[in-house]
Each structure stands twice: as structure tokens, then as C-alpha cells.
């Protein structure tokens, strides 16, 4: 199976294949060795999730299997009475207490089984909830830079795809194993009482079906692991074809037939893979049944021999027939459970690894409160390299921002402006160098509290599928402040006026009553969001890229007014709008290459002067 390749899908690179190789290589004994640790882990998780359900599930399983043994012993008693050499009415009368015990044991066994099942059914969603919540909590708590790391992404995707079910699958398998072994123990105890040779005979009869179930389970895991990458690709394609964002482009670029063919190609591969697995499972099943039948025949033959040679009583032999059937299913249940537990354990380990990795990547934060008033921000000699990049995005960058200033970052595409703004905004920690707020190193400051003091109008701001009002008040939902000032300053008031339900309008047309905004209208909402946050430092990254000339002018005027009591860090390619900045930093290839006011930079006749002249010439020549 591991030989199969899916052209172009780079399946071999998937971490799933590591598990695949592991499960293929590991025998039953490896599974048995790893099982105790897995059982302990999942039971601890289950105990933490619901103590009552864990106790009910374990207790009921144990007790129900004890009633299996009691029922078997009572059956022998009934049969002994029925086969005794006395008149029939007396035989029946003597068997009545035994029959009552058999019925009672059967009823109690079922009742406890049901109770165990009920507790397990309750635990299932509770465990999923615990695991899911933990995953989301951990994911939202990692350093932002983790999202730029493909390793973290792969791990997260894989974990969210299957590992969330891991613990409940594992618990299910563990309980199935326990109930199988307890049942087997109970039956063995009962058989040992009847005749010592019966037990090994019964264990022998279960070997072929056990082998088959182990094999079937292993193939199952191989299939899940083997098709995981293809399924993810399929899911991505399906989302692209069925969701709104790509719908227009699929049509305008006539991509439909390409996407459909790709989807069908992957589906064919997945189905072929699954069908091949089904064939292997069927073959294993057939061999298991064949040898299982032979082994059972041998056991019955041996039992007949014992009966014939007078070593067991007819009543004991009859009970043994019942026990053979029960023990066979208990053995294969136990061993199948072991195999499933191992299989589920691999998924569970993915989850455990993910959690450990996410904890290691958790945001570091100091506990010093950030300065209450706008204060000097100093960036000194910082370097920063993205995890997936070969070259640094920032090298030895130093800048300062004084309270109440407007500071501008300019430079060509990819020169490092957004990265620098994110470092200043406390989103990325520099690899070297320091960022200080009022003289305090950012690493010593409580980062959540620091972010409360910063408003960011991001270049790639989020179009939240929420109402217009919620889109503006995001992060300050319960401030109770009126939105009016931010609406007017950003020009978003004109946008909201035209919405069917005003601020209550859902800004997502895929929801009932929802609508969509134009790029420039969205941008005004984003500016309103930044102004409404009313933080001492406002970071604007291309706040007017989609705006018409009049709106752009109005927004820059608003930001200037906003800066009277606050500090503004502005990134823009519209150089006419940075003329009035207190200081301008020009970046190139991640380094600050020029610094000064508009006037001093123009006098210097460097990069800034060149860019400014090019832009103004374009306007004057075309205008
Ligand atoms: N997540 C990332 N992973 C790897 N490299 C990145 C990532 N984000 C940005 N980069 C790289 O870092 C460099 C700086 O990018 P940045 O976005 O800071 O530039 P910018 O000056 O803001 O550009 P623009 O004017 O186009 O917005 C670029 O070379 C870019 O390719």
C-alpha cells in the first residue's frame, strides 16, 4: 500500500507516512507495550472531562462481565439438574433456582452494559469538546510567527482533520479491550472451575479471528493515513468550487472544467486506494473465518473426546459449548480493541504532539504594565527573519517615534515596512535588537495590555462576517462609546447610510439580509475601526489604497487631526500624503536607508526624492 503514489500530490512528504510505516512495521507486541501509557493518558483525560461518566463506564463494564461468569456457572447448575436421573417434574423443580440465576445474571449483565454504553456515549461528545476547545485555545495563544511556519500549519491542519476524534476513538478502543479481557477472565474463571483443559482449547479457537481482526484494523489505519493528504486536497478544491470568494474568478478564468477534472482525478485515486484496502481486508476476513472454523471444529472434537472418555459431564460439555462462543467473541473483542487502541493512539499522539508544540510556541509576555500615556517608542538595531524565508525581512533597523508625532515608513514593495510595523505593534518579536516603550523593553511588558494601547488599520484587514456596527467596534464591543465620531472621521457614515439596516446590516451576502461592500467602502469601515479603538498609537498600513482621491484626502486629514493627541505610524505609497509627517524613514531590502523630513529628504536627492519626483511628475504630466 505504501508503494502507491498520487502523482503531483507529494504524498510521501506527508507526516502521515511516518505513522503508516510505523504501524506497518510494528507487531502486536509493540502495541501491547505501548498500550498502558496510552490507556493511562486517555483515562486521565476522560477523568478530567467527566468523573461521574468515567466511573460509571469503567464500573459498569467490570460488573457486567462478572455477571457473564455468574450466568455461565448457573447454566451448568441448570444443565446438571436437567440431566440428572430423576423424574422430569423433580428435575424441573430442582432447576428452577438455577434458571432464575441465569435469567437474573443475563438481565443484570445487559443493564450494566447499557449503563456503561450510556456513560461512554456521554463521554464521546464531552471529550471532543475538551479536545477541540484546547486546540483552539492553544492555536489562538501562539506567537503570530507560528502562522508563517509551514511546519506548524501542517501539524495544525492534520490534527484538526482527524486527531480531534483520537481521544474518543481511543477511549472506545480501551473500553472494548477492557471489556473483552474482563469477559475473557470471567469466562476463564468459570471454565477453570468446570475443567482445566477447556480454557486453552477456547483460546486456541480464537487465534484465527484475532489475527484477521488485527489485520483488518491495521489496513484501516493505513487507509486513513494514506488518503489523508488527498482528502485535504479534495477538501480544498471543494471549498474553492462551492464557496463565494473564488466563484467569480472560476467563471471569468473558465476554470470549471480544470477544477472538476482535478477533483475527479483525486477522487478516483482515493477510491482506488480504498477498494484495494477493502480487498485486502476481505482476504484477511476469509482466511480468518476459514481457519477459525477449523479451529472451532478441533475444539468441539476435543470436547467430544473429553465427553467420550468420561472426563467431563454432559452438563459441563454443554456449558463449554456456550462458553466457547462467548470466549471466542470476548477474545477477538479484546485483541481487536488492542489493535484499535494502538491505531487510535497514533491519531491521539498527533494531538498530543500538536499540543506540546503549540505550548512551546505560546506567546511570551512580560508583566510590566505599558506606559499609560503615549510615550517614546524606540526600535534599536532589530533583525527579523520569517520562519519560511531564507533572507531577513529586517536587518539592523533603528527608528524612534516620539509622543504626538506622525512618523511615516516608505519604500518599495517588499522593503519590510509591514514587518516593521508588526514588530512595533507587538505582533512579532525581533530576533535581535530591542523595541522599548518609554524606556521599558517590550519583552518585559504585558503584551495584551500593550496591544490594548495600539490601534492597527492593517493592509490586509479582515472582512468580518458580522454587522457593520460590529465590524467597527471589534475588540471594543462593550465600550458603550458612540460610533458617530469614528463614522464621520472615516467617511464610513456615508457607507452605513446606504445600508438597508444601517449599522445592523450583516456585511456578508451569504447570510440572509446580508450585503457586500466595495473595496473602498470596506476600507472606510477599516479606518473607522482603527479610529474607534482610540488608542495612543495608531498604526496605518496603506489605509487609503482602495479609496478615491476625495476620500483619500479626507482620511489623511482625519488621521492628522487624530494625531493631535496621539501618535501615528503611517505606511503608504502615496508620498504626497507623507509630506506633513514629522519624520520619514525610507526602507530598502529590510534596512533604513534614509531618514528625515520631507524637505530634508528632498534636499538629499536620494531614493525618497526620486520616488517623490516620479510620482508628482506622473500626476502633473497626466493631469
Ligand atoms: N509570512 C511571510 N513569510 C515569509 N516571508 C515573508 C512573509 N511576509 C513577508 N515576507 C517577506 O518579507 C519581506 C518584507 O515584506 P513586507 O510585507 O514587510 O514588505 P512591505 O514593505 O510592507 O511591502 P508592500 O509595500 O508590498 O506592502 C518581503 O520580501 C516578503 O516577501
> What one-character-per-residue DSSP string does 188-206 give?
HHHHHHH-TTHHHHHHHHH
Are 488 and 582 found together in one domain?
Answer: no
Please tell me the distance from the alpha carbon of residue 380 to that of residue 593, in angstroms, as a whole number: 15
Kindly report, residue by residue over 233-256, the tens digit of the pLDDT. 788 889 899 987 788 788 888 889
**Closest protein CA for atom 19 of ligand 1:** 414
List, as one string, the DSSP characters of 484-528. HHHHHHHTHHHHHHTSTTGGG-BS-TTSTT-----HHHHHHHHHH
Is the same domain home to 264 and 162? yes
335 has pLDDT over 80: no
CATH of the domain at 329: 1.20.1560.10
Judgement on whether residues 15 and 26 belong to the same structural domain of the protein: yes
Q: Select, from the ranges 172-181, 337-346, 415-424, the one with the highest average predicted confidence (pLDDT).
A: 415-424
pLDDT at 601 > cutoff 90: yes
Q: State residue 131's pLDDT score.
A: 86
Residue 544 inside a domain? The answer is yes
Tell me: do 111 and 127 sit in the same domain.
yes
467/447 same-domain check:
no
Which atom, in ligand 1's list, is nearest to the CA of 416? 18
Residue nearest to ligand 1 atom 6, measured at CA: 386
Nearest atom (ligand 1) to Cα of 573: 25
Confidence class for position 474, pLDDT limits 50, 70, 90: confident
Q: Is 414 in the pocket of ligand 1 (CB under 6 A)?
A: yes
Ligand 1 atom having least distance to the Cα of 389: 4
Question: Counting atoms of ligand 1 from 1, which one is nearest the CA of 587?
Answer: 21
Q: Whose CA is nearest to atom 18 of ligand 1?
A: 416
Report if residue 367 sits inside a domain: no
Same domain, 147 and 234: yes
Q: Which of 417, 459, 460, 587 to mutate to test the pocket of ligand 1 (most atoms within 8 A of CB)?
A: 417
Candidate of 385, 412, 415, 539 to mutate for ligand 1, largest count of ligand atoms within 8 Å of Cβ: 415
From the DSSP assignment, how many helices (H) and strands (E) are in the chain?
Answer: 19, 10
Number of structural domains, the chain? 3
Please check whether residue 607 lies inside any domain of the structure: yes
445: domain CATH number is: 3.40.50.300
Residue 162 pLDDT level (bands cut at 50, 70, 90):
low
In a domain, 143, yes or no: yes
What is the C-alpha separation between 375 and 31, in angstroms, rounded? 60
Ligand 1, atom 30: nearest CA belongs to which residue?
414
Q: Is any atom of ligand 1 closer than 6 Å to the C-beta of 417?
A: yes
Q: Does ligand 1 have an atom closer than 6 angstroms to the CB of 389?
A: yes
Residue keyed to cell 476459514: 290
Share of the chain above pLDDT 90, in %: 25
Taking residue 332's Cβ as centre, other Cβ atoms within 10 Å add up to 22
Residues 253 and 381 reside in one and the same domain = no
Same domain, 471 and 444: no
Pocket test for ligand 1, best of 391, 419, 422, 593 (most atoms within 8 A of CB): 419
**Domain boundary residue, one of 517, 533, 549:** 533
Query: 607, 431 in Cβ contact below 8 A?
Result: no
Buried b (16+ CB within 10 A) or exposed e, 539-560: bbbbbbebbeeebbebbbebbe
- Look at residues 533, 560, 594 and tell me which one is the last residue of a structural domain: 533
Using the predicted structure, report yes or no on whether residue 71 has a pLDDT greater than 50. yes
Q: For all residues of the chain together, what is the average pLDDT?
A: 82
- Co-location of 485 and 539 in the same domain: no
| Residue 175 is assigned to a structural domain of this protein | yes
Q: Rounded CA gap, 5 and 3, in Å?
A: 6
Ligand 1 proximity of 362 Cβ (cutoff 6 Å): no
Cα(386) to centroid(ligand 1), Å: 9
- Do 156 and 205 reside in the same domain of the chain? yes
Q: Whose CA is nearest to atom 12 of ligand 1?
A: 393
Do 467 and 430 fall within a single domain? no
Residue 368 inside a domain? The answer is no
ipTM for the assembly: 0.97
Q: Is the CB of 144 under 6 A from ligand 1?
A: no
How many Å is the maximal CA-CA distance in the chain? 126
Q: How far apart are CA 503 and CA 482, in angstroms?
A: 12
CA distance 522 to 476: 19
Select from 297, 328, 359 the last residue of a domain: 359
> Probe ligand 1: pick from 393, 395, 545, 589, max atoms within 8 Å of CB?
393
Q: How confident is the model over 175-198, as a mean pLDDT? A: 76
Joined grid coordinates for residue 514: 446580508
Q: Which of 594, 554, 593 is nearest to 577 (CA)?
A: 554
Q: Residue 414 C-alpha to ligand 1 middle, in angstroms?
A: 5
pLDDT, tens digit, 9 for 90 and up, residues 338-380: 777 776 777 777 788 889 999 999 988 888 888 766 578 999 9
Q: Is the CB of residue 563 less than 8 Å from the CB of residue 369? A: no
Q: What is the pLDDT of residues 80-139, one digit of tens each?
A: 777 666 666 776 777 788 888 889 989 999 999 899 889 988 988 888 888 888 888 999
The response to whether residue 283 sits with its C-beta less than 6 Å from ligand 1 reads no
Residue 5 lies in a domain: no
* 543 located within any domain: yes
Q: Domain range holding 327?
A: 11-359
Residues 420 and 472 in one domain: no
Asked whether the whole model's pTM tops 0.80, one would answer: no
- SS3 assignment, position 477: coil
Higher-confidence residue: 103 or 30? 103
Amino acid at each position: 500500500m505504501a508503494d502507491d503514489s498520487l502523482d503531483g500530490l507529494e504524498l510521501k512528504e506527508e507526516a502521515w507516512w511516518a505513522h503508516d510505516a510505523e504501524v506497518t512495521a510494528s507487531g502486536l507486541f509493540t502495541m501491547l507495550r505501548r498500550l498502558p501509557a496510552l490507556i493511562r493518558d486517555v483515562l486521565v483525560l476522560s477523568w478530567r472531562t467527566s468523573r461521574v461518566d468515567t466511573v460509571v463506564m469503567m464500573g459498569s463494564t467490570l460488573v457486567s462481565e462478572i455477571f457473564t461468569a455468574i450466568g455461565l456457572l448457573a447454566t451448568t447448575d441448570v444443565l446438571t439438574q436437567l440431566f440428572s436421573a430423576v423424574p422430569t417434574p423433580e428435575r424441573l423443580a430442582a432447576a428452577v433456582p438455577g434458571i432464575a440465576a441465569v435469567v437474573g445474571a443475563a438481565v443484570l449483565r445487559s443493564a450494566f452494559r447499557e449503563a456503561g454504553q450510556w456513560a461512554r456515549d456521554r463521554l464521546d461528545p464531552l471529550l471532543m469538546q475538551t479536545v477541540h476547545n484546547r486546540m483552539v485555545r492553544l492555536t489562538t495563544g501562539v506567537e503570530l510567527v507560528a502562522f508563517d511556519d509551514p511546519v506548524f500549519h501542517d501539524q495544525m491542519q492534520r490534527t484538526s482533520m482527524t486527531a480531534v476524534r483520537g481521544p474518543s476513538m481511543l477511549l472506545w478502543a480501551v473500553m472494548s479491550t477492557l471489556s473483552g479481557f474482563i469477559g475473557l477472565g470471567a469466562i476463564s474463571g468459570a471454565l477453570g472451575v468446570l475443567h482445566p483443559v477447556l480454557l486453552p482449547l477456547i483460546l486456541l479457537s480464537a487465534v484465527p479471528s484475532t489475527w484477521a481482526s488485527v489485520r483488518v484494523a491495521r489496513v484501516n489505519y493505513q487507509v486513513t493515513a494514506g488518503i489523508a493528504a488527498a482528502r485535504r486536497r479534495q477538501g480544498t478544491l471543494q471549498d474553492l468550487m462551492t464557496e463565494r470568494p473564488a466563484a467569480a474568478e472560476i467563471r471569468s478564468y473558465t476554470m470549471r472544467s480544470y477544477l472538476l477534472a482535478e477533483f475527479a482525478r483525486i477522487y478516483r485515486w482515493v477510491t482506488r486506494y480504498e477498494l484495494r484496502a477493502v480487498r485486502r481486508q476481505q482476504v484477511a476476513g476469509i482466511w480468518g473465518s476459514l481457519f477459525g472454523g477449523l479451529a472451532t471444529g478441533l475444539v468441539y472434537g476435543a470436547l467430544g473426546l473429553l465427553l467420550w472418555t468420561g472426563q467431563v459431564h454432559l452438563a459441563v460439555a454443554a456449558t463449554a459449548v456456550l462458553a466457547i462462543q462467548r470466549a471466542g467473541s470476548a477474545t477477538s473483542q479484546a485483541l481487536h480493541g488492542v489493535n484499535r487502541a494502538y491505531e487510535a493512539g497514533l491519531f491521539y499522539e498527533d494531538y498530543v504532539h500538536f499540543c506540546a508544540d503549540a505550548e512551546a510556541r505560546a506567546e511570551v509576555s512580560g508583566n510590566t504594565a505599558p506606559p499609560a500615556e503615549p510615550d517614546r517608542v524606540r526600535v534599536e538595531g532589530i533583525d527579523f527573519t520569517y520562519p519560511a524565508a531564507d533572507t531577513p525581512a529586517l536587518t539592523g533597523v533603528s527608528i524612534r517615534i516620539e509622543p504626538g508625532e506622525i512618523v511615516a515608513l516608505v519604500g518599495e514593495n517588499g522593503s519590510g515596512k509591514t514587518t516593521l510595523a508588526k514588530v512595533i505593534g507587538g505582533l512579532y518579536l525581533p530576533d535581535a535588537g530591542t523595541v522599548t516603550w518609554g524606556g521599558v523593553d517590550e519583552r518585559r511588558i504585558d503584551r495584551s495590555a500593550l496591544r490594548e494601547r495600539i490601534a492597527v488599520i492593517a493592509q490586509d484587514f479582515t472582512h468580518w462576517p458580522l454587522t457593520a456596527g460590529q465590524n467597527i467596534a471589534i475588540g471594543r464591543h462593550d465600550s458603550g462609546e458612540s460610533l458617530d465620531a469614528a463614522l464621520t472621521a472615516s467617511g464610513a457614515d456615508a457607507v452605513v447610510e446606504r445600508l438597508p439596516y444601517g449599522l445592523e446590516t450583516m456585511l456578508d451576502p451569504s447570510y440572509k439580509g446580508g450585503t457586500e461592500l466595495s473595496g473602498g467602502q470596506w476600507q472606510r469601515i477599516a479606518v473607522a475601526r482603527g479610529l474607534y479603538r482610540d488608542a495612543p498609537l495608531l498604526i496605518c498600513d496603506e489605509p487609503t489604497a482602495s479609496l478615491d482621491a476625495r476620500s483619500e484626502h479626507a482620511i489623511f486629514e482625519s488621521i492628522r487631526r487624530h494625531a493631535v493627541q496621539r501618535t501615528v505610524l503611517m505606511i503608504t505609497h502615496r508620498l504626497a500624503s507623507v509630506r506633513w509627517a514629522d519624520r520619514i524613514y525610507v526602507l530598502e531590502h529590510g534596512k533604513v536607508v534614509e531618514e528625515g523630513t520631507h524637505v530634508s529628504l528632498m534636499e538629499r536627492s536620494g531614493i525618497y526624492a526620486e520616488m517623490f519626483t516620479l510620482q508628482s511628475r506622473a500626476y502633473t504630466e497626466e493631469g
